[in-house]
C-alpha cells in the first residue's frame, strides 16, 4: 500500500496489495491512466504527451481523455460527476488541479486528497482516495466547497475506468420483494446503462453494486473483474458507459432524479463513499475481498469478531397474531431448540391488530401484553437467550396518536392526499426534531425492556417526497432522511454498544454498505424457501459478507412457493449465513424437534468457519440442479462444504466437486470419507453423491497434518 506522486511525469500512483491505480495531471486536469494488476512504475504507464486541453483541441483527442472527475463543462457529454448552476445562470464548470496531500489515516490505511478549483468561481472539489493494507480496494468520495451560492444538479462520489475494449460484461443484482439479489449479466455495448433506485431506500429492484469483467470471460475463479459498491441507503445511481472509443466508465453517487440542492457561501457537501476494486481472480475473489472489507472495516466493532447468535422469530408462523402467553411458550421451546435470541416481531404494539394502525405509538398492546414486554424479556433472559424486538421507526399510520398530534411529521405535499402503502405513511426523518424524537423513544424502549437485539424494519418506499406543514420543499429530503437515519443508528450503537441490530427492509430492500457500520446482520429476504435461498445467497454474497446474511428455517410448506422440503435440507440452507428459526415449535413432531436440536448443535459447531472463513461458491444454483458452497478459515485449517441437490434426474451423479482454498500439502480429515490431501481435494475433488430430490450434505474438513 503506497501513494506516490512523480514530479516529473506528474503522475499519481496508488499501489494496493496487487494493483496500480494511476492518473496524471495534464494541463492541470487529472486524467485517468490505468487501473489493473501489478505494480507499474509511472514510466510504464501510457502517458500521452500530446494530451491537450479539453477546451481547445481536436475533438478526437479530447474525447479520449478519461477525466478522474468529469464535471459538466466544456467538451463533456457523459454522465457528469458534478453539475452546477451559478446564480448568474452559468452552467459550466472548469475545474483545474490546485493541490494535493496524502497522509497515513491509520496504521494500515492511507488517504490521498486531490483538490481542484474552478478557473473563475470560488468552488473547490476535493477528490478522496483511501487505500488499505492487505486489500485491493480503494474508497473514494468527493467534497465540494463553495464561496458563492449555487445549485447542485448532480454530484457523484467517483468514476471508475475499467480497461477499455469491446465485449466487456456488466454483472448487477436485481429483484423484488422475496426475490432479491438476482444475478443479471449483460454485454456492454456503446450505450449508457443506469442501475438505480428512486425508492428512498437502496431498493429491492437493484443493489448499489456492480462488476465488469473483461471480454465477458471471467468465471467464479478466474478472470479480470472491476467491481464496486456504493455506501448509500437512499436514492442512488451507478451509470455504466461505453463510449465511441470503447472506453468504459462507471460513475456512482446520488440519483439525479428529483435531485437539486442549493449550497450557500461557505457550505460544504461530502458525498457517500464508493468502494472499488480489481482482481484477476474472477467473481469469487472480488466477493471475498468485499467480504473481508465488510467484516473488518465496516461492521460495528462490538460484534465484528463474534459469530452471530441463533435467532428465533415467530413472524412466519403467527404474523400479527401474537400475545404474551403464546410468546412465553414459544420462548421455552426456542431455548430448548438451541436459539440464543428470541425476537418478538410485528404486532406487539398498541393499535396494531392487522397492518392498518398504530405505527408511531410504540407502546405494548395492553390486550396482548397486559403487563408490557418486560416480563417476557425477563423470561427470555432467564431461559438464557437475548430478548429481541421488531420495530419500524420510520413509519406512521393515520390511525395513530402520533399522526393525530403531529400530522406535519409525515412526508407528503400539502395539496396531495398521500399514497398509503400497507396503510402506512412515512415519517419525515429528514427533520431533526423527528430524528431526536425517534432516537429518544427507541432508547427508552430498549432500556426499559432490556432489549439486546433490535430488528429494524422499513416496509414502504417514499412517495410524495415533501415536507408537510414545514417551510421549504427542498429535494435535500432524500439526503437528509438517510443521514438522519444513520445518525439514529449511530446514537443507538453508541448508547448500547452490545445491541445487535438487524437491517430489515421488507427483507433485503436496504442491503448496502451505507448501513453496514450500524447493523450487525441483514434480513437477506423474507423468502424462507430453502431452494430459493440457495440463489438468494449467491446474489447477496457477491457483495456482502455471509456473517451478515440473515435467513434460515422457515415454515413448511413455505408460503412463497408452497414448497415442502425436508428439515435437514432447509437447515443446511440456513447454515449458509446467520441462522434463524421461524417455524411453529408448538406443533412440531417430537422426532422433528429432536432433529432440529441436533441441526442447531451442528450449526453452532461450524458457524465460526461460515462467519469468518472465505467463501467459495463451488457450484452455482443458477446453473444447474445442484449448488455447492465451501467456507475455509484464513489459516486453511478448517473448512465446511454445504451441498444441495434438487430434481436430479436419470441417475444423475454430480461430478466430484473440486474444492478451493485449502493447503495443497496438508492432509485433511474429511467427514464421512477417508483422509485426503488438500491437493487431492482441490484437484480430484470431493465425490458428493447427491441423488433425487432435496438431498443435501454437510462435510467438515479439518487439517490433521502438513
Ligand atoms: C417485513 C419483514 O421483512 C418481515 O420479516 C416482518 O418483520 C414483517 N415486515 C412485519 O410486518
pLDDT of residue 473: 64
Res. 55: pLDDT tops 90: no
Looking at residues 498-518, what average pLDDT do you find? 98
Residue whose C-alpha is closest to residue 364's, from 378, 380, 376, 381: 376
pLDDT tens for each residue of 329-381: 999 999 999 999 999 999 999 876 566 678 999 999 999 999 999 999 999 99
Ligand 1 atom at shortest distance from the alpha carbon of 319: 10
Return the DSSP state at 654. P
pLDDT tens for each residue of 437-457: 999 999 999 999 999 999 999
**Cβ of 251 below 6 Å from ligand 1:** no
pLDDT of residue 48: 66
More confident call, 62 vs 56: 62
CB distance 155 to 263 below 8 Å = no
Would the CA dihedral through 294, 297, 301, 305 be positive or negative?
Answer: positive
pLDDT of residue 354: 60
User: Could you tell me the distance, in angstroms and rounded to a whole number, from the CA of residue 346 to the centre of ligand 1?
Assistant: 7
Res. 690: pLDDT tops 80: yes
Looking at residues 110-139, what average pLDDT do you find? 97
pLDDT of residue 64: 79
Res. 54: pLDDT tops 60: no
Residue whose C-alpha is closest to residue 306's, from 612, 515, 633: 612
Provide the 10 A C-beta neighbour count for residue 223. 20
pTM beyond cutoff 0.95: yes
pLDDT of residue 53: 52
Ligand 1 atom at shortest distance from the alpha carbon of 390: 7
Q: How far apart, in whole angstroms, are the C-alpha atoms of residue 139 and residue 130?
A: 5
Ligand 1 pocket test: pick from 318, 459, 560 the residue with the most ligand atoms within 8 Å of its Cβ.
Answer: 459
pLDDT of residue 59: 66
Largest CA distance in the chain: 81
Residue whose C-alpha is closest to residue 203's, from 486, 505, 477: 505
Q: In the predicted model, what is the mean pLDDT of the chain?
A: 95
The answer for 636, left when phi > 0, alpha when psi is -120 to 50, beta otherwise, is left
**Cβ of 424 below 6 Å from ligand 1:** no
pLDDT of residue 63: 77
Ligand 1 atom at shortest distance from the alpha carbon of 345: 7
CB distance 174 to 434 below 8 Å = no
Res. 308: pLDDT tops 90: yes
Q: What is the CA radius of gyration of the chain?
A: 26
Give the residue whose CA is nearest to atom 11 of ligand 1: 346
**Cβ of 507 below 6 Å from ligand 1:** yes
**Cβ of 349 below 6 Å from ligand 1:** no
At 604, list the grid cell: 453452532
Instruction: Band the pLDDT of 597: cuts 50, 70, 90.
Output: very high
DSSP H or E run through 402: helix 401-405
Give the residue whose CA is nearest to atom 9 of ligand 1: 506
DSSP H or E run through 448: helix 432-448
Q: How far apart, in whole angstroms, are the C-alpha atoms of residue 686 and residue 681?
A: 6
pLDDT of residue 350: 87
**Cβ of 345 below 6 Å from ligand 1:** yes
Res. 458: pLDDT tops 80: yes
Q: How far apart, in whole angstroms, are the C-alpha atoms of residue 502 and residue 220?
A: 29
pLDDT tens for each residue of 413-446: 988 988 988 889 999 999 999 999 999 999 999 9
**Cβ of 456 below 6 Å from ligand 1:** no
Q: How far apart, in whole angstroms, are the C-alpha atoms of residue 574 and residue 636?
A: 23
Ligand 1 atom at shortest distance from the alpha carbon of 526: 3
* Cross-strand pairs, 261: 152
**Cβ of 506 below 6 Å from ligand 1:** yes
pLDDT of residue 46: 82
Looking at residues 488-497, what average pLDDT do you find? 98
At 42, list the grid cell: 509511472
Res. 50: pLDDT tops 60: no
**Cβ of 582 below 6 Å from ligand 1:** no
Ligand 1 pocket test: pick from 204, 312, 349, 390 the residue with the most ligand atoms within 8 Å of its Cβ.
Answer: 390
Phi and psi torsions of 432, nearest 5°: -70, -30
Ligand 1 atom at shortest distance from the alpha carbon of 506: 3
CA 556 to chain centre: 29
pLDDT of residue 356: 63
pLDDT tens for each residue of 256-269: 999 989 999 999 99
Phi and psi torsions of 139, nearest 5°: -95, 135
Amino acid at each position: 500500500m503506497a501513494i506516490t506522486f512523480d514530479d516529473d511525469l506528474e503522475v499519481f500512483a496508488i499501489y494496493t496489495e496487487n494493483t496500480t491505480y494511476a492518473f496524471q495531471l495534464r494541463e492541470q486536469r487529472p486524467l485517468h491512466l490505468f487501473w489493473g494488476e501489478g505494480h507499474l512504475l509511472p514510466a510504464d504507464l501510457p502517458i500521452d504527451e500530446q494530451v491537450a486541453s479539453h477546451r481547445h483541441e481536436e475533438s478526437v483527442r479530447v474525447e479520449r481523455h478519461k477525466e478522474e472527475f468529469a464535471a459538466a463543462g466544456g467538451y463533456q457529454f457523459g454522465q457528469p460527476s458534478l453539475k452546477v448552476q451559478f446564480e448568474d445562470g452559468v452552467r459550466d464548470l472548469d475545474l483545474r488541479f490546485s493541490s494535493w496531500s496524502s497522509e497515513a489515516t491509520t496504521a494500515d490505511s492511507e488517504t490521498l486528497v486531490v483538490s481542484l478549483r474552478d478557473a473563475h468561481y470560488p468552488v473547490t472539489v476535493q477528490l478522496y482516495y483511501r487505500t488499505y493494507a492487505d486489500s485491493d480496494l480503494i474508497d473514494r468520495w468527493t467534497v465540494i466547497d463553495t464561496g458563492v451560492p449555487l445549485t447542485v444538479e448532480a454530484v457523484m462520489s467517483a468514476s471508475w475506468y475499467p480497461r477499455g475494449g469491446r465485449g466487456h460484461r456488466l454483472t448487477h443484482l436485481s429483484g423484488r420483494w422475496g426475490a432479491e439479489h438476482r444475478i443479471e449479466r449483460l454485454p456492454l455495448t456503446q450505450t449508457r446503462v443506469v442501475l438505480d433506485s428512486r425508492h428512498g431506500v437502496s431498493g429491492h429492484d437493484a443493489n448499489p453494486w456492480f462488476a465488469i469483467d473483461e471480454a465477458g470471460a471471467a468465471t467464479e475463479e478466474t478472470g479480470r473483474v472491476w467491481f464496486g459498491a456504493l455506501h448509500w441507503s437512499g436514492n442512488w445511481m451507478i451509470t455504466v458507459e461505453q463510449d465511441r472509443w470503447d472506453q468504459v466508465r462507471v460513475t456512482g453517487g446520488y440519483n439525479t432524479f428529483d435531485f437539486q440542492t442549493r449550497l450557500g457561501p461557505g457550505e460544504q457537501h461530502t458525498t457517500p463513499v464508493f468502494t472499488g476494486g480489481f482482481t484477476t481472480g474472477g467473481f469469487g475473489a472480488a466477493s471475498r475481498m468485499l467480504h473481508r472489507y465488510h467484516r473488518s472495516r465496516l461492521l460495528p466493532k462490538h460484534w465484528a469478531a463474534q459469530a452471530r447468535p441463533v435467532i428465533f422469530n415467530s413472524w412466519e408462523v403467527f404474523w400479527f397474531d401474537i400475545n404474551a402467553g403464546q410468546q412465553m411458550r414459544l420462548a421455552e421451546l426456542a431455548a430448548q431448540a438451541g436459539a440464543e435470541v428470541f425476537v418478538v416481531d410485528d404486532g406487539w404494539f398498541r393499535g396494531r391488530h392487522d397492518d392498518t394502525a398504530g405505527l408511531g405509538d410504540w407502546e405494548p398492546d395492553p390486550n396482548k401484553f397486559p403487563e408490557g414486554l418486560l416480563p417476557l424479556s425477563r423470561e427470555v433472559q432467564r431461559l438464557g437467550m437475548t430478548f429481541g424486538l421488531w420495530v419500524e421507526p420510520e413509519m406512521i399510520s393515520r390511525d395513530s396518536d402520533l399522526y393525530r398530534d403531529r400530522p406535519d411529521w409525515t412526508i407528503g405535499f400539502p395539496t396531495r392526499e398521500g399514497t398509503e402503502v400497507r396503510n402506512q405513511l412515512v415519517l419525515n426523518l429528514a427533520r431533526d426534531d423527528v430524528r431526536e424524537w425517534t432516537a429518544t423513544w427507541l432508547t427508552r424502549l430498549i432500556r426499559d425492556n432490556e432489549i439486546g437485539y433490535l430488528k429494524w424494519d422499513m416496509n414502504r418506499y417514499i412517495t410524495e417526497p415533501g415536507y408537510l406543514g414545514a417551510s421549504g420543499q427542498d429535494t435535500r429530503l432524500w439526503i437528509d432522511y438517510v443521514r438522519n437515519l444513520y445518525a439514529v443508528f449511530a446514537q443507538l450503537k453508541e448508547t448500547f454498544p452490545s445491541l445487535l441490530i438487524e437491517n430489515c427492509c421488507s427483507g433485503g430492500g436496504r442491503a448496502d454498505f451505507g448501513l453496514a457500520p450500524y447493523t450487525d446482520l441483514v434480513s437477506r429476504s423474507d423468502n424462507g424457501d430453502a431452494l430459493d435461498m440457495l440463489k438468494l445467497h449467491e446474489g447477496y454474497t457477491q457483495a456482502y459478507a455471509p456473517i451478515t446474511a440473515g435467513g434460515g428455517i422457515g415454515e413448511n410448506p413455505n408460503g412463497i412457493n408452497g414448497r415442502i422440503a425436508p428439515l435437514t435440507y432447509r437447515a443446511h440452507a440456513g447454515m449458509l449465513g446467520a441462522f434463524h428459526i421461524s417455524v411453529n415449535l408448538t406443533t412440531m413432531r417430537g422426532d422433528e424437534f429432536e432433529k432440529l436440536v441436533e441441526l442447531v448443535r451442528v450449526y453452532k459447531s461450524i458457524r465460526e468457519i461460515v462467519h469468518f472463513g472465505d467463501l467459495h461458491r463451488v457450484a452455482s444454483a443458477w446453473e444447474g440442479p445442484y449448488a455447492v458452497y465451501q467456507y475455509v478459515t484464513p489459516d486453511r485449517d478448517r473448512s465446511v462444504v454445504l451441498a444441495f441437490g434438487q430434481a436430479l434426474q436419470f441417475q444423475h451423479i454430480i461430478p466430484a466437486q473440486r474444492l478451493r482454498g485449502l493447503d495443497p500439502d496438508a492432509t485433511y480429515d474429511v467427514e464421512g470419507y477417508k483422509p485426503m490431501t488438500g491437493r487431492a481435494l482441490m484437484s480430484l475433488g470431493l465425490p458428493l453423491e447427491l441423488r433425487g430430490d432435496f438431498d443435501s450434505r454437510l462435510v467438515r474438513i479439518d487439517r490433521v497434518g502438513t
